[in-house]
Structure 1
Amino acid sequence: MSYVVLARKYRPQTFADLTGQEHVSRTLQNAIDSGRVAHAFLFTGARGVGKTSSARILAKALNCEQGPSTEPCNVCHLCREITDGTSTDVFEIDGASNTGVDDVRELRDNSRYLPSHSRYKIYIIDEVHMLSTNAFNALLKILEEPPPHVKFIFATTEPHKVPITILSRCQRFDFKRISLARLMARLREISTVEGINISDSALAMIARKGDGSMRDTLSCFDQVLAFCGSTVADDDVATLVGVVDRRLLAELSAAVFAGDAQETLQGVRRVDAFGYNIRQFTQELIAHFRNLLIIRSVAKPEEILDLAEAELTELRQQAADQQPSDIQRRLTLLVQAESGMAQSSFPRLLLEMALLKMATLQPVLPIQPLIERLRQLEAGLPAAPRLSAAPSSAIAAPATPSRPSPRSRPEEPIAAPAAAAPVAAPGTGGTWERFVEFCRSQNPILGGALEHGSPVQYTQERIEIGFPEGSFHLSSMQDAENLARLRRLAADFAGQETTVSVTVIRSVEQERQPLSLAEKKSREQQERREAIRREVLENPVVTEAIRLLEGEIVEIKEL
């Protein structure tokens, strides 16, 4: 007798046998019990979760000699024919190979005839989304007004591809992915019946490989039994299934949390030596850190994580001493490394760099205690100068200390802004600063250019303005029209005719000439910045904040 694979041998034959789909079983049983069975059903969900099996069970429950009943007897000849696939009144059609409109028209024409010896003629169409548009259109009329002896059961993994006109004529049931615990429990039942000696950790690896699909899980279990026989070792399962050993993930994460760079890189070496795909291992490691983060972030992680009880206990122990913020920062580094592996030729290098950063990551200090401590320091130092005493300042992005002006001499103190050595006018005109301000009010462009000139000579009768050789302002002020405008403004300001001339200041002569207003403003701003910086650096509150946060001041910026 030929061997029957586990997925077929242990296929559910009653609603009670369905694993993880109790919401579907109860609804269908209640519909049968109350006589409210619809004429068309749509079963949707991932592969291998029980859609087609549920369709067969429903067909048996409706056509059973003892029914319609909430559970088929699986003994009468009608139930056995449906189980064996030989019933003349229950048709299982593959939508992928019967996509044409002619196939559906033939189905529609045959559905008008009464069933040969059953209660209902039932059509089960698997992968119904593969039908063509014309085939769907041919189904519409019979779905809207079906004969009383016909039931349709559609199954699909992609319900979004089914036209809305079909969906509106069906009762839709969404099948869920089966949880890891339910898959493990089912595998344990089968291994007990089959006499297989296997550990819970091996069952967890097989169930996790199934990814919520009972059929995929049983197919993987079949492969493991073919390789291992009646005694299954954990290492053999890990090798055969191709999943990363949970112990390796635990050891590597423990080395990261301990800050052991040597052991961390040794873990990567072991991963590479085992022949694991580096990117796949990184994804497993991301899932591992995600589990740790959820365990440290929520009160009931078992309701969120699809893990076995033993795995959950082990993760709880590992995450007990870690802060959620630290785990999250490390998880972010892993995700960034994994996303870069798709375009990189050095996935191992990316993983090693990420793990080294994770191992050397400094823990984040809680901000609230630091703020409270700074407040206490401020309260205990009433005589200390506060940042608000001068114009407000804050710590921001890098600043470069500006170089002193080439004209500044160390032995000469810089004059204050109010006494910036203006050349006083002998008449009623006033100082050079007032003259420039007057010109700016009358002609902003001309006044702006004068700010960059040095008052080589400034009297009521004569004004000589110097500009650096080759500068834009020199060529602008040497223009005949601009010079004429400047002479008129000087006469208006002094109340008499004034001689105005523009001269060239060569580089060797610059240090001997008076500063321009623009240079004075720049000097004043530099002096102000340095004064504020000295105040901030000498403030004990700021000094203590830098010590606590292990930071540094990179720029002082006035607010």
Structure 2
Amino acid sequence: FFVKNKIKLWSKKILTRKKGLIMSYQVIARRYRPKTFDEVVGQEHVTKTLRNAIEANRIHHAYLLAGPRGIGKTTVARILARAFNCEKGPTINPCGECVQCKEISSGASMDVQEIDGASNTGVDDVREIRDRAKYLPASSRYKLYIIDEVHMLSTAAFNALLKILEEPPAHVIFMFATTEPHKIPITILSRCQRYDFRRIPVPKIEESLKSIADIEGINIDKESLSLISHEAQGSLRDAQSLLDQAIAFSGKNVELKNIESMLGFLDRKLIFDLLKDVLNKNVSLALKKLNSVFEIGVDLTRFATEFLGFLRNIMVIKKCGFEASLIDLPKEEAESLADLSQKVSYEELQQMFHIWYLNVDSVARTSFPKMFLEVTLIKIMSVEPVKPIADIIMELERLSGNACLLDTKNNKEERTVENKQNIIKKDADISKPVEQGDVDELWKGFLKWLGQSSPQLASIFGHGTLINLSNDVVQYSMENPFYAEMLQEEDRKTQVLKQMKAFFKKDMMLDVSGINKTVKNIEAAKVEHSGNHEKIEAQVIDTVSKQKKKKDLTKEALESDIVREAANIFEAKVHDVRTDFEEK
């Protein structure tokens, strides 16, 4: 009696467990797993190629399915297994009714083995596969080995696998799935047909989730579907798991606020208002809003990432406008960001993004994330308006050209230059005899005008002195022979004469000499020591003597074998030669 009752009790427990197993809940990701190529979402480039290969009976012995998690790699491998072994196959549309299809779907087929590469990494595991692969399938057309996360295999395991991939039996097909194909040896890659799976676009994820919700009888709005799809980051399996979680959290009516609460999301309006305060450089309000975020209990790492996304979106809108393929946002939010982007330049936004980006990862590691973010907010609000680099370069060129032209002795001289320019504009005849002072002012006017039209030429003229300006001839002396040679170059000289003609309203001639500072020193000596003729003469003789000495030494240096060899070695040119007395 005891034994009979015990047997009955065991039988009852087994039936209860079995009944419970049959009635247990199956998650959405498993229940709605694609069973045909038509049901695969977002991988048309893969399914089309595989279909054509099956129809043409071009079945390869090894397939590598690569891509991020949750986008259908293992699912496609199982569909391929059914397509190859279906009793009506090989076919692109496995029936799902025959014994082979049912066994493969339930994971009970002896000829289709799924192996986890992460937990079977050793060479012994691969040798066992290699030994079993020699035998014919038990009841199917092909014997298939699906190895997930194949990149986790050891080097020895890959070497053991290589032999069978080189000369595979006709009845064996390998399918490798991986998220990191770059870790697989090239010898393995070269023996596989590789299919790269892409992240699934948000609209397609939304469409798939909507159809699942309709079948399940779940009421969910478009905003909630959009939030779940964005959070999944291209993974349909992650999106289905989030939908499952949202249904468990909200019941039959899934609302946006419930999903935000479930995921610990921050109200996007609060982030937008914070961004507005940041761009307005309102430090006090920005820090108060950050404090509100902290008090709500939002994960600050998630907040930092969300804020980075806002900075990215406003940068793209500023540069490209509202482009749906680049900015996946509600129309109202995109328009608000477009209005906000008018407050700052693109260069400022670029600096803000760079500063925030460099600090996002540190939020999770620091012991004081709130203080860290406060300081980072102050940093990005301290960014000053920046001029574009092209404008800065143009400004520098203008300043460098004008630096040697501007004479700021007094306002009277400035007014004189302006008056002389007005005279020139009225086509004054400069061929008439003019006083030396008038010539100097006239030449300053030309140099100032040249600095605006051609800063480079004006800069060269800044290294010399006007000797004489009479009739149609400009006599000019350079402080350095190098600059004299530059003005004598044909192209540059043509350009100078063209500029002179435009300014003086007539054809001019330019006589350039490299006599250094002789004339300049004579004139200076005359002004400073008027009446002291002997001293002036001594200074002139000394100046000419030094210049002659330097000229001779320069010629000697340029003809020196050592100098030539040094210039050869360093691929350089001699720009200047300095004498001892100059150094002193």
TM-score bucket of the superposed structures, by smaller chain: 0.5 to 0.7
Secondary structure of 1:146's aligned partner: coil
Question: Retained in 1: the 8 A contact 2:66–2:181?
Answer: yes
1:34 alignment counterpart? 56
Question: Retained in 1: the 8 A contact 2:359–2:376?
Answer: no
2:7 alignment counterpart? none
2:106 alignment counterpart? 84
Question: Retained in 2: the 8 A contact 1:422–1:432?
Answer: no
CA distance in 2, matches of 1:257, 1:92: 54
- Tell me the alpha carbon deviations over residues 206-230 of structure 1, each in whole angstroms, 9 at most, x when there is no partner: 2222111112222222222222222
Is the alpha carbon distance of 1:362 and 1:260 closer, same or farther for their aligned partners in structure 2, counting shifts above 3 Å? farther
Letter in 2 for 1:133: T
Q: Point out the more displaced range, 333-342 or 259-268.
A: 259-268
1:147 aligns with 2:183: no
1:23 aligns with 2:45: yes
Secondary structure of 1:303's aligned partner: coil
- Tell me the alpha carbon deviations over residues 41-91 of structure 1, each in whole angstroms, 9 at most, x when there is no partner: 000001111100000000011111221111222222211111110101101
1:268 alignment counterpart? 290
Question: Retained in 2: the 8 A contact 1:268–1:352?
Answer: no
CA distance in 1, matches of 2:119, 2:307: 41
Q: Map 1:78-227; keep pairs closer than 5 Å.
A: 78-227=100-249
1 or 2 for the larger relative contact order (CA 8 Å, sep ≥6)? Answer: 1
Question: Retained in 1: the 8 A contact 2:123–2:160?
Answer: yes
Q: Map 1:486-501; keep pairs closer than 5 Å.
A: none
Is the alpha carbon distance of 1:99 and 1:356 closer, same or farther for their aligned partners in structure 2, counting shifts above 3 Å? closer
Question: Retained in 2: the 8 A contact 1:114–1:121?
Answer: yes
Q: Map 1:313-328; keep pairs closer than 5 Å.
A: 314-320=333-339, 322-323=341-342, 326-328=345-347
Letter in 2 for 1:106: E
2:353 alignment counterpart? 334
CA distance in 2, matches of 1:367, 1:254: 28
Paired residue for 1:419, among 502, 506, 527?
A: 527
CA distance in 2, matches of 1:167, 1:357: 51
CA distance in 2, matches of 1:197, 1:354: 45
CA distance in 2, matches of 1:110, 1:336: 57
Question: Retained in 2: the 8 A contact 1:82–1:90?
Answer: yes
Q: Map 1:452-463; keep pairs closer than 5 Å.
A: none
1:47 alignment counterpart? 69
Letter in 2 for 1:332: Q
Letter in 2 for 1:230: K
Letter in 1 for 2:295: A
Matched residues, number: 415
Secondary structure of 2:219's aligned partner: coil
Identical residues among aligned pairs (%): 40
Is the alpha carbon distance of 1:147 and 1:234 closer, same or farther for their aligned partners in structure 2, counting shifts above 3 Å? same
Question: Retained in 2: the 8 A contact 1:255–1:261?
Answer: yes
Letter in 2 for 1:41: Y
Is the alpha carbon distance of 1:314 and 1:363 closer, same or farther for their aligned partners in structure 2, counting shifts above 3 Å? farther
CA distance in 1, matches of 2:306, 2:257: 17
CA distance in 2, matches of 1:189, 1:73: 23
- Tell me the alpha carbon deviations over residues 413-450 of structure 1, each in whole angstroms, 9 at most, x when there is no partner: xx9664334895869x954686688689889xxxxxxx
Secondary structure of 1:276's aligned partner: coil
Letter in 2 for 1:420: E
CA distance in 1, matches of 2:185, 2:291: 52
CA distance in 1, matches of 2:126, 2:190: 19
Is the alpha carbon distance of 1:157 and 1:147 closer, same or farther for their aligned partners in structure 2, counting shifts above 3 Å? same
- Tell me the alpha carbon deviations over residues 339-392 of structure 1, each in whole angstroms, 9 at most, x when there is no partner: 24666753232343146447x96999x979x99xx9xxxx9x963986834995
Question: Retained in 1: the 8 A contact 2:355–2:376?
Answer: no
Is the alpha carbon distance of 1:73 and 1:418 closer, same or farther for their aligned partners in structure 2, counting shifts above 3 Å? farther
What are structure 1's unaligned runs of at least 5 residues?
395-414, 444-485, 487-516, 519-559
Quote the offset at 1:271 in angstroms: 2.2
Question: Retained in 2: the 8 A contact 1:60–1:79?
Answer: yes
Quote the offset at 1:337 in angstroms: 3.5
CA distance in 2, matches of 1:93, 1:266: 54
Is the alpha carbon distance of 1:23 and 1:390 closer, same or farther for their aligned partners in structure 2, counting shifts above 3 Å? closer
Paired residue for 1:352, among 355, 361, 377?
A: 377
Question: Retained in 2: the 8 A contact 1:48–1:216?
Answer: yes
Quote the offset at 1:315 in angstroms: 0.6
Paired residue for 2:96, among 69, 74, 83?
A: 74
Is the alpha carbon distance of 1:54 and 1:289 closer, same or farther for their aligned partners in structure 2, counting shifts above 3 Å? same
- Tell me the alpha carbon deviations over residues 268-316 of structure 1, each in whole angstroms, 9 at most, x when there is no partner: 23322223344542332222232233234337722334x25xx245313
CA distance in 2, matches of 1:338, 1:145: 50
* TM-score normalised by structure 1 residue count: 0.65
1:228 aligns with 2:253: no
Is the alpha carbon distance of 1:183 and 1:382 closer, same or farther for their aligned partners in structure 2, counting shifts above 3 Å? farther
Q: Hey, which of these two has a bigger chunk of helix by percent?
A: 2
1:3 alignment counterpart? 25
Q: Map 1:362-401; keep pairs closer than 5 Å.
A: 383=422, 388-389=447-448
CA distance in 1, matches of 2:446, 2:295: 58
Is the alpha carbon distance of 1:323 and 1:125 closer, same or farther for their aligned partners in structure 2, counting shifts above 3 Å? same
- Output the aligned Cα RMSD: 4.0
Is the alpha carbon distance of 1:441 and 1:248 closer, same or farther for their aligned partners in structure 2, counting shifts above 3 Å? same
Is the alpha carbon distance of 1:72 and 1:316 closer, same or farther for their aligned partners in structure 2, counting shifts above 3 Å? farther
CA distance in 2, matches of 1:326, 1:205: 30
Quote the offset at 1:147 in angstroms: 1.5
Q: Map 1:425-436; keep pairs closer than 5 Å.
A: 430-431=537-538
CA distance in 2, matches of 1:59, 1:263: 60
